[in-house]
Amino acid sequence: MWRNNKPSLFKWSTPPRWKVVRRSQTIFSAILLVLVISLPVYYSWPTPSKAKPVASKLMIKIYAITEDRLAAIVSAVDESGQLDNSRDDVINLFFEGASSNEIAQSRVSLKNGEVSVEIKVKNQQTSFLTAKWVSGPTPLKDVTSLVSPLMWNY
C-alpha cells in the first residue's frame, strides 16, 4: 500500500526504462553524427606547408666521367643538406696548392641552387677543390672538397 502512495516528485525523477534507453540512443546517435560530419572536414583541411630551405653553405660533389674528366656539382644547401632552389649566386672555383687539374670555368653562376663544372685531369694526383661565395642574396659558407684518384669509380 505504501508503494502506491509515493509522492508525485518521486514519480517524475525515475522515468521508465524504455525512456532511458531511448534517451541514451539519441545521445549516442548525435555523437556519431557529429563524428561522421567532422572527421572528413578535419582530414580535408589543408596542412600548413613546411618552410622553404634557406641555404647557408655550399656543397661540392665530385663524379668521374672518364679517366681524364670529372664533373663537380656545386650546390647551395641548408644545414640539413637540402637544396635551396631559389639561389642564383656567383661562385668562384679554384684548386688549392699545386695542381695540374684544370677547371672549365673558374667563376660560375648557380641556377636553381646548383651548377655543374667539368674538370680536366692531367695528372692523377690528389688535390683540393674550393668553392668560394662571391655574390648573392646572403653569404654562403665556403667549402673545400678532396679530389683524389683513389675515389674515382669508372
Residues 121, 46: Cα–Cα separation, whole Å: 52
Residues 92, 109: Cα–Cα separation, whole Å: 9
CA 138 to chain CA centroid, Å, is: 20
Sequence spans of domains, the chain: 3-44, 57-151
Position 58 scores a pLDDT of 93
For 83, phi then psi, to 5°, come to: -70, 135
R_g over Cα of the chain: 36
Residues 82, 52 contacting (CB under 8 angstroms): no
Position 1 scores a pLDDT of 46
Position 153 scores a pLDDT of 60
Residues 101, 121 contacting (CB under 8 angstroms): yes
pLDDT (tens, 9 = 90+) of the chain, 154 residues, equals: 455 555 555 556 778 889 899 999 999 999 999 999 998 888 888 877 677 778 889 999 988 888 888 888 999 998 888 888 888 899 999 888 777 777 878 899 999 999 999 988 877 778 888 999 998 888 999 999 888 777 666 5
The CATH code belonging to domain 57-151 is: 2.60.40.10
Element spanning 44, H or E: helix 17-44
Position 77 scores a pLDDT of 92
